[in-house]
Structure 1
Amino acid sequence: MLDSTDRRLIAELQRRADATAQDLGDLLHLSASQAARRRARLESEGLIKGYTARLDPAKLGLSVQAFVQVQMAAHNADNAASFVRLVTTLPEVVGCWTLTGEADYLLRVWVTDLPALNALIHHRLLPHPAVSRVQSQIVMDQPKADSGLPV
């Protein structure tokens, strides 16, 4: 069970993964060692799965974000496994979800420009034998940035 202190700790780590034990202790009114022990416990229990840095896509030359819906030609385990293997090799695909409804997969992609998105779709996704249809939506703006889970 998570108590209110654990919840405040994980909320802060979602905001600032680089928070030190001293930072967490100050926020939670605990000693640094108590905060570090709590964080270590939450990590060992698997609640905290890891830490990442948020990068600026524009400074990396990535100017186009898109969501790509993929519809499979046939629904079977081999097609699904083969498609997922392809997706894991594509660095442009930063997220992949299986869905209910018309599309079978939703991919979140970051690319340098529209020709790169076109190449990804027409030279990597559509040629895959398991894929029957691809539809993309280009992100115009992101009024709310990716955020942590509600805790």
Structure 2
Amino acid sequence: MSARHHARGGVVIAVLDQMDAWEINLVLNLRLWCEGPTGRRAAWTDYANAVPYGDAERAWHDFERLVERVITTASRPLVRHQVTCNCVGSDEYIFLHLVRTASDGYLNDAALIATLLSGPAHAEHIALMAGEVGSALRHAHCKSNSISPVATAELVRLH
């Protein structure tokens, strides 16, 4: 990845410790998922522990479909920070903002936000998926304040 792409998606615009718990969970699970099989297992474990048993598989499947669609249709590689980093980069924050906006019911706005990560041909579908993911995470966090994303020491990404 060129330095230009690095700067475009990795610029720090927020910090995790000033976000809602479900938002932290979303960003950290995005980071874990992008790290490959080990990270995906850790993120799945988080979903399995956070979401009621019958809903965990569906919520995880929705999350995976959303991330896969965003990554495979992105105009450039998404930039993210290391799982243990408190910083939130611009690509990560756009993903979070997309999910938040869609799950708040503003699907037209969410589709516009999706175009920052993906092409316009995929924006509406991504917005719909983002709404499902956000609703599931918010619902899980409303039921339990003890949810905490899984951290792993073997991940390497931006600071």
Q: Do both share a fold (TM > 0.5)?
A: no
TM-score when normalising by structure 2: 0.27
TM-score when normalising by structure 1: 0.28
Query: Rg bigger for which structure?
Result: 1
